[in-house]
Structure 1
Amino acid sequence: WGAPAGLASVVLQMQAIITVALALVLFAERPTKAEIAGLSVAAIGLAVIFSGLAGGPGVWAMALVFTAATAWSFANIVNKSAPKSNPIGFVVWTSAIAAALMLPIILVVDGVPSITATMANMSLWGWGAVLYLAYPVSLFSGAIWSRLITCYPAATVTPFALLTPAVGLLSSAIVFGERLSGTILFGTAAICIGLAIITLTPRRQPAHNQPTSLEITS
């Protein structure tokens, strides 16, 4: 059932493509030619990174990761349909609901003894990592992402998530001295080129003043 972290982080970024497709259907957000071209180049880079990572996860593992990517895409759509929501409040409440849903699963899979032992033996670095993931990563970065999703077209914002596996792999090389193959470097360069195509072309006006098909009019 397990999937390597590197491969999972790559497949999870399929949410960018799924979100753009959902926004086209639900909000009639038509990507510009530059956005389509940039997203395509970045997606190719993502596929190249995928091919360059070692490990062969099973079908069920990849199916679960793809399901998570689809769920993230629908979360983006829900966020986009509520443009007046507070970004931090949105992240806090969605995280609380996710935690409540995950807790029973964790208790069944890992068991209470394993959880308590892990917490009792966790180092300061471990607790620091938890705090880092909770606040800078989940709360503040999530709030920024939420705000961007509500203000700009999906095809303009979501491709930047494709940088996640690339930045993670490059950070591992810098911090831990892990060696990167030419395939991964090529894929990272392709993602950067795709994002450059999207960002360096004339931008469309923010979408927050445009009515959407999910808004309720009085």
Structure 2
Amino acid sequence: MSTRDRMLGLTVVVLWGLNFLAIHAGLEHFPPLFFAALRFAIMAIPVILFVPRPNVPLKWFLLYGIGFGTIQFAFLFLAMDNGMPTGLASLVLQSSAPFTVLLCVVLLREKLSARQIIGITVAVGGMAIIGIDRAAHGATAAVLPVMLTLIAGLGWAFGNIGSRLARPDNALHMTLWMCVVPVLPLYALSLAVEGPRAGWDAMASVGSHSGLVALGGLAYVVLLGTIVGSGLWTYLMSRYPASKVAPFSLLVPIVGLTAAWAFLGETPTGWELIGGAVVILGCFAGLSAKRAAAAPDTPEEPEPVAQEGAAGVDRVVLQSRL
């Protein structure tokens, strides 16, 4: 990978790590489910008008959109709104990686390598450390946001399965068109859970200080977190083997935790840091595939997006982000 593309990878890491701060800002003003619907609605309108629709099977496209878009963001935003620390959310969401591998085994009957089994076991152990530590400090109320975030990670994993089975010719176009799917389900959930007035009352007071900050967070999520971040990520994924690009995303929780500490005063406990390190180590060990080494600082020839790792999930585990 060239030095320039390494810098692009690190740029994506920073954009996605700071994305959790932007989500936090939005949730300070908007109800979580309404904010999630609003985030996708803003994306959906220009996508329908200007982006070519991907030619993929509808059922796999809907699985991608419902899993990655609806389930992931509904439960992630609910978790953060119910007390999930911003930095810790960026870490626990990494559970999508081992979830994806396990779903490929259960649903697609793919085989696990010994390295992947060890990696998943280590990652699950790290999640257990975090859950036990949260329970010790806050009983059930502290564990609930972690469980909601794990469900979000599972939703992302189902979205990965849909993305893999759809096999789009243009991954960015499908990522953008995915934004069309969650709008109505999320808004319906908002009406049912938050009430018909909650979101619109928040819109009516959007000129307040918290409202303007929330709009700034929304703009960041849409423009930098999604368009720029996903665009650069798709470029890298199309240019290099997935096993060379995917490990960059494991740095996202480091940026998320650091940013939450610097800007929000969130200080993770020692056991949470240990658990986080174990999770990242497990994800890296379980999802990295052995590839032939390329010449240093030399771009590789683009390869088909269907090329995958040992469990067939290299390409999709970290294809798109928040």
TM-score computed with the length of structure 1 as normaliser: 0.69
Does the CA contact (< 8 Å) of 1:162 and 1:191 recur in 2?
no
Does the CA contact (< 8 Å) of 1:48 and 1:184 recur in 2?
yes
The 5 Å alignment of 1:180-199 reads: 180-198=268-286
Pick the aligned partner of 1:100 from 166, 181, 184: 184
When residues 194 and 66 of structure 1 are mapped into structure 2, their CA distance, relative to the original with a 3 A threshold, is closer
Partner of 1:37: 118
- Secondary structure, in 3 states, of the residue corresponding to 1:119? coil
Q: What's the RMSD between the two structures over aligned residues?
A: 4.1
Higher relative contact order (CA 8 A, sep 6+): 1
Does the CA contact (< 8 Å) of 1:166 and 1:188 recur in 2?
no
Offset at 1:146? 11
Unaligned runs of 5+ in 1: 213-218
Q: Deviations over 1:102-156 (max 9, x none)?
A: 12332452415423234232454332211111133234445637985xx758xx9
The 5 Å alignment of 1:1-218 reads: 3-6=82-85, 12-53=93-134, 54-55=137-138, 56-57=140-141, 66-108=150-192, 109-110=194-195, 111=197, 113-121=200-208, 122-142=210-230, 144=233, 152=242, 167-198=255-286, 202-203=290-291, 208-209=306-307
Offset at 1:85? 3.7
TM-score computed with the length of structure 2 as normaliser: 0.50
Unaligned runs of 5+ in 2: 1-77, 293-302, 313-322
What is the letter of the counterpart of residue 5 of structure 1?
M
Report which stretch shifted further, 19-28 or 54-63.
54-63
Offset at 1:192? 3.6
* Percent identical: 26
- Secondary structure, in 3 states, of the residue corresponding to 1:120? coil
What is the letter of the counterpart of residue 39 of structure 1?
I
**1 CA distance for matches of 2:222 and 2:168?**
24
When residues 17 and 191 of structure 1 are mapped into structure 2, their CA distance, relative to the original with a 3 A threshold, is closer
When residues 145 and 36 of structure 1 are mapped into structure 2, their CA distance, relative to the original with a 3 A threshold, is farther
When residues 65 and 188 of structure 1 are mapped into structure 2, their CA distance, relative to the original with a 3 A threshold, is closer
When residues 32 and 135 of structure 1 are mapped into structure 2, their CA distance, relative to the original with a 3 A threshold, is farther
- Secondary structure, in 3 states, of the residue corresponding to 2:306? helix
Report which stretch shifted further, 76-85 or 116-125.
116-125
